[in-house]
Amino acid sequence: MTSPWLREKAISPIFSPRGVKSVAEGLNISSLLRGRTASSDQAQPLRQIVGDEKGQPLRTFAVVSGKGGVGKTNLAVNLSLAFCERGQRVVLLDADLGLANVDILFGLLPPAVTLAHVIEGERTLDEALLKLHEGFWLIPGGAGVQELADLEERRQGLLIEEFSRLDERADVLLIDTAAGLHASVLAFALAADSVILVTTPEPTAIRDAYGVLKVLARRSNGRIDVRLIVNMVRDEAEAQEVGRRFQMAAAQFLNVPVIFAGHVSRDDRVHDAVARQRPLLWAFPDSKAARNVRLVASRILPAPSSEEELVAAPSRGLKGFLFRLSRRVGLGG
């Protein structure tokens, strides 16, 4: 008899497609989304910040992938714009700290002020924010979670307070992380309300995405909200097949429900937009891939009247995100 460990190792790239509920059947994930309470008394000031939060909380999404080359950053940029089209105010944080390149997709010169300058106290967050569209801002990257952890306590608190002001500016914070299992990826993903996991139908991409999910599931004790996007697919049938198999593997071996958010078709217009250094939704708004991105956005943030409201992304606020991030990188005690 094959051990469960070996069965799990063999799960990718060939997953059995049977025995998985469709997204339409719904997945009860409310019990997985409860927040954590820090045990250290040194974290009391941060808990107070979280407790003071009022109004409609900002939603935080971490966009992650198991490997490079799956179109993660492109999706992060265009999902941000699709959220804007749906009336959301969006801040996109370029946290791909090794290869921060969101600015390139907008045809921008290297930014003069980045997240690194803000962390070091050299510039304010307002100086780092680049307004690229009505209701849409970019925070260029340039620093990692280690720099956050190395800050002295007073500067940590000031930085958290400064970032908490984004609650007044935006409805969504979308974080484009690095590919793979870097410390910064885990910190941002585990702190965010939801993880948007990007893969392609390629076996290596599926295997690596599953590997990332496995680590996140272990670190979060299974309390994590995950939305899967299958990028660069031939057709919807291929995307559904990958989604079904991935859902089954995650449920069977990790006990983590994964919500299939949709797919983006392989489309030459995506490459054309990159060559023009323009986001797809601006360069080719009527392309097939652009229509796919808008549909994915509507599933992640459905309208209040939508029948898909039951699977809407959770929302615990920016200050809650900052508190959870601080616990992951050792801030606040």
Residue 8, pLDDT above cutoff 60: no
- DSSP-derived 3-state class of residue 95: strand
What is the pLDDT at residue 239?
Answer: 98
Write down the architecture of domain 55-329 according to CATH: 3-Layer(aba) Sandwich (3.40)
Higher pLDDT, 182 or 17: 182
φ and ψ of 329, to 5 deg: -110, 5
Distances (CA, A) of 226 to 43, 74, 155, 217, 248: 27, 19, 32, 10, 14
Q: In this model, does residue 292 exceed pLDDT 80?
A: yes
Show me where the domains of the chain are located: 55-329
- What is the structure's pLDDT at 185? 87
The string of pLDDT tens digits covering residues 95-104 is 876 566 788 8
Percent over 70 (pLDDT), the chain: 73
Give the per-residue pLDDT at 322: 81
CA dihedral 261→23→258→225, nearest 10 degrees, is: 70
For residue 115, give the H/E element and its range.
Answer: helix 115-119
Using CA atoms, how far apart are residues 164 and 46, in angstroms rounded to an integer? Answer: 11
CB 124 within 8 A of CB 279: no
Band (pLDDT 50/70/90 cuts) for residue 306 is low
What is the spatial distance between Cα 214 and Cα 254, in angstroms, rounded to a whole number?
7
Residues 35-76 have pLDDT tens digits of 333 333 333 444 344 444 445 689 999 999 999 999 999 999
Provide the pLDDT for residue 145.
Answer: 54
End-to-end CA distance of the chain: 47
CA distance linking residue 129 with residue 138, whole number of Å: 6
| Residue 64, helix vs strand vs coil | strand
pLDDT for the residue numbered 100: 62
pLDDT over threshold 60, residue 13 = no
